[in-house]
Chains A and B, each alone.
Chain A
Amino acid sequence: MDAAGRLLEIEDLRVTFEVGGARYKAVDGVSFTIDDGEAVGLVGESGSGKSVTARSILGLTGARQLAGGAIRYRGTDLVPLGEPAWQRLRGREIALIPQNALAALNPLFTVGWQIAELFRVHEGASRSEARRRVVALMEQVGIPAAAKRFDSYPHEFSGGMRQRAVIAMAVALNPKLVIADEPTTALDVTMEAQVMDLLGDLRRERQMALIHITHDVELVASSVDRMIVMYAGRIVEAGPADDLYHLPAHPYTRALLESRPSLGDRRKGLLPTIPGAPPKISAIPSGCAFHPRCAHMRERCQRETPILRSPTSGRVAACHYSEEVLQLGEVHTTVSA
């Protein structure tokens, strides 16, 4: 593989949590890569391991939890290097847009100060220079009256403005990779669309790679290059966003897509849902973890864990019967533009 374009390489990542003396697998053998400037959607229900995977990339999982695997940034495995290596990368190379902006902002410092801190600590900018750059950045992410808003505290910002403020914080130092952890869940639909547009613009202007973590396939399908679908701590399907969106190879992906309404939907009656709930990490089913909820389940699925394989070109899926799932045809009769 071309080393120059390869930004991040996760190999066989395993994260475990200890609860009441027992160890449970939250992430179980996840591998994927991110190239320079690439946008990837990391999709899954809560408890699928997507957020834990993201935290691991930022070095936020403790040594006790990180049970194995390699996290290579530009070819260097960060796991054995530990905290100092991550500290050098955080903010400058890898940044995070958190889910809950209100909780992520320190209530006792002004929003401007908290963004300016990046310039001051990492680049040694003077107070006035940092202020000037922060005001410009706040304007760029769409915070009105930025010069005045610099001195406001987080509780004086609206929800949408706070989300823009943490986005400004994430992109301040032009990182090569931004991890957005459900950046729009706390927002209403209008605000969600605005923030998605802003993220797209910033990514193009600053040529950043993006990992967009979400439970909403529909939301990211049109804005990312590739999608990775996780279930119960494992990747169940990955491939180009368009292909995967229209013709999934895993029953779980398909079920996720079918349970979303879309414009021009001609289906009648109740919206289909996925029966049951995602498994707890303390009770992951045998064989294929999805089998109790799967519409296409057969006897083999209960005992044999499917491995990721390629049922069609450019795609990997962990299902014994991917070919049959592909035969089911396109999910959406109307293509959303």
Chain B
Amino acid sequence: MVRYIAGRLVALVAILFAVTIVTFALAQLSSADPAVQLAGDFPPEEVVQQLRKELGLDKPVPVQYALYVKGLLHGDFGRSYFSKQPISSELPDRIGATFELATAALAFSILIGIPIGIAAAVYRNSPVDHFGRFLALFGTAVPVFFLGLLMVRLFYTELGVLPASGRYSLEIPPPPTVTHSVIVDSVLAGDWRMLRSAMTHLVLPSLTLGLFGAGVIARVMRASMLDILNHDYIVMARVKGLTFRRIVLVHALRNAMLPALTVIGLTYGALLGGAVLTETVFSWPGLGLYGVRALTYLDFPAVMAVVILITFAYVVMNLVVDILYGVLDPRVRAGMNA
């Protein structure tokens, strides 16, 4: 198992390395001159030349790439053309915001999707099943931004029970930054007012995103549960005189979770890459918004940083899913140990 994980981590580094080559090449193909971009409006030629030297742009391209990778290894993503600030100082807050949103959205997806998927399979063609089908269709077919607007209209404009934008109320002084997650930080600081504010701000965007994931997860869960319930070992469990409830929740669920796990992992990977539309609707200052802004301003160092982070999130989630497969399925575990 340890050897398996170590092997996968080596592969992870290789993938990230490959991604840096691609993003670096793409940045080279663009006509934007980083020195001009960073020098400000109408810069004098000497300033541009000076910056070019500082950034190593006078060196051959392979050397520039080597310098870039060297910087990455030290956590240096370069400077943003847009803000002129080091990207590494801008990212942590963005990652924290996206991490909160993605995790809460995934929790909604699982809490809604798994039970509906199970119920739809067990009570096939019943109202629960029809509702599950509706939810899946609704969750995947309705654009997230539209669903988000509906949520805002209902819970903010009409009912006035939940805030509709931002991460927390700006009237409250933020807690000292420790983890870049406002929720975790306010717990650490014992700031319950801030915690409450951060939690209520999180509900609408994460529920919007979560409904999307819930639809997909419910469909996969239903299909895999239906498949599992036809297996001989389920008949055997009935023959053992077990209750239907126990058969479904103990004997079938663990087996049916395996395909759902893949979807859950990939959903989380995608969510961690930033949910552009949702973050836009709810002015959620996460990676998605950051990436869109970087693209709009041809802020290549920032774009490259976001791409690398998204890749990292995907690859890590894939690894986590594979490890969980091993935890759940002894046959897979045997393969990992071999």
Q: Which chain A residues have a beta carbon within 8 Å of chain B's beta carbons?
A: 58, 60, 87-92, 95-96, 98, 100, 103-109, 117-118, 121-122, 153, 155-156, 166, 169
Cross-chain contact A87 with B232 (CB below 8 angstroms):
no
A58 to B328 alpha-carbon distance, docked (Å): 31
Closest Cβ–Cβ distance, residue A116 to chain B (whole Å): 11
Cross-chain contact B330 with A108 (CB below 8 angstroms):
yes
B231 at the interface (CB under 8 A from A): yes
A109 to B233 alpha-carbon distance, docked (Å): 11
Chain B positions within 8 Å of A92 at CB level: 241
Closest Cβ–Cβ distance, residue B336 to chain A (whole Å): 14
Residue on B with the closest CB to A93? B241
A95 to B242 alpha-carbon distance, docked (Å): 12
Cross-chain contact A106 with B329 (CB below 8 angstroms):
no
B3 at the interface (CB under 8 A from A): no
Cross-chain contact B329 with A91 (CB below 8 angstroms):
no
Chain A positions within 8 Å of B255 at CB level: 106-108
Cross-chain contact A117 with B242 (CB below 8 angstroms):
yes
Cross-chain contact B241 with A89 (CB below 8 angstroms):
yes
A114 to B251 alpha-carbon distance, docked (Å): 10
Cross-chain contact A121 with B246 (CB below 8 angstroms):
yes
B243 at the interface (CB under 8 A from A): yes
Chain B interface secondary structure, helix, strand, loop or mixed? helix
Cross-chain contact B233 with A106 (CB below 8 angstroms):
yes
A193 to B238 alpha-carbon distance, docked (Å): 29
Closest Cβ–Cβ distance, residue B232 to chain A (whole Å): 4
Cross-chain contact A88 with B232 (CB below 8 angstroms):
no
Cross-chain contact A153 with B233 (CB below 8 angstroms):
no
Chain A positions within 8 Å of B74 at CB level: none
Q: Which of B233, B246, B255, B329 has the most CB of A within 10 A?
A: B233
Known contacts A96-B236, A98-B236, A121-B246; A107/B331 CB under 8 A = yes
A88 to B240 alpha-carbon distance, docked (Å): 10
Cross-chain contact A91 with B240 (CB below 8 angstroms):
yes
A107 to B334 alpha-carbon distance, docked (Å): 12
B263 at the interface (CB under 8 A from A): no
B13 at the interface (CB under 8 A from A): no
B235 at the interface (CB under 8 A from A): yes
In the A-B complex, the 6 residue pairs with the closest CB atoms: A91-B241, A90-B241, A103-B232, A153-B330, A104-B236, A106-B233
B2 at the interface (CB under 8 A from A): no
Closest Cβ–Cβ distance, residue A60 to chain B (whole Å): 7
- Chain B window 299-312, contacts with chain A (Cβ cutoff 8 Å), 1 for yes, 0 for no: 00000000000000
Query: Could you list 24 examples of A-B contacts with CB < 8 Å?
Result: A58-B239, A87-B241, A88-B241, A91-B239, A91-B242, A95-B239, A96-B236, A96-B239, A98-B239, A103-B232, A104-B232, A104-B233, A105-B233, A105-B236, A106-B233, A106-B236, A107-B233, A107-B255, A108-B329, A108-B330, A117-B240, A118-B240, A155-B330, A166-B236
- Chain B window 242-279, contacts with chain A (Cβ cutoff 8 Å), 1 for yes, 0 for no: 11001000010011000000000000000000000000
Q: Which of A103, A106, A153 has the most CB of B within 10 A?
A: A106
Chain B positions within 8 Å of A104 at CB level: 232-233, 235-236
A169 to B237 alpha-carbon distance, docked (Å): 10
Closest Cβ–Cβ distance, residue B242 to chain A (whole Å): 6
Chain B positions within 8 Å of A89 at CB level: 241
A89 to B241 alpha-carbon distance, docked (Å): 7
Q: Could you list 8 further interchain pairs (A-B, Cβ under 8 angstroms) beyond the known A90-B238, A117-B242, A153-B331?
A: A58-B238, A88-B241, A96-B236, A98-B236, A104-B235, A106-B237, A106-B255, A166-B236
